[in-house]
Structure 1
């Protein structure tokens, strides 16, 4: 205990401790804000990769729809389009 009290009276130690405390915790770019920003950047990079994969899938689908038969099949299955002389029955199993 006697060794600790003189250290607490050292003005350099006190000022350095206050500066470190300010930089790590109290400043607007503290360690918590930096960690949150890095986590946000990682999340955004993951979202970019997901969007790129979705774009590639859409490009493949778009190339497949160049064929008129494939386009008709897509319209019938996904959007329930029909010809004028047809009736459509939709069965839903839930």
Structure 2
């Protein structure tokens, strides 16, 4: 372990006594911990931006998927009929529709 020499100690003490150094350190501490844009807030903003970008990508993919399905339904009558039967339980006049619902087992 090396001890500071007397000359190095004087330089360090002069540096700490320097008003510009003290003001700079106070400003740095203020900006890092107490300002409204401190490091913790910046980290939270960064996390929120990442989360919003992921949500944006998800919704863009879902929008593309729905647009593709809509295009298929409007251009293909067979797909439209299949969609209406599956989702809205529609039927033709001479047909009967039976809906089978599976009961959930109760857990004890």
TM-score band, normalised by shorter chain:
0.7 to 0.9
1:2-61, Cα deviation, whole Å (9 max, x unpaired): x5xx47655444333321111011001111111111111111111111111111111221
Q: Please give the TM-score of this superposition, normalised by the length of structure 2.
A: 0.70
- Identify the structure with bigger relative contact order (alpha carbons < 8 Å, sequence gap 6+): 1
Q: In the alignment, is residue 75 of structure 1 matched against residue 84 of structure 2?
A: yes
Structure 2 SS opposite 1:65: helix
Q: Please give the TM-score of this superposition, normalised by the length of structure 1.
A: 0.79
State which of 36, 44, 54 in structure 1 corresponds to 2:44. Answer: 36
Q: In the alignment, is residue 19 of structure 1 matched against residue 27 of structure 2?
A: yes
Larger radius of gyration: 2
> For 2:89 and 2:16, how far apart are their aligned partners in 1?
79
Q: In the alignment, is residue 65 of structure 1 matched against residue 61 of structure 2?
A: no
Q: Alignment length, in residue pairs?
A: 94
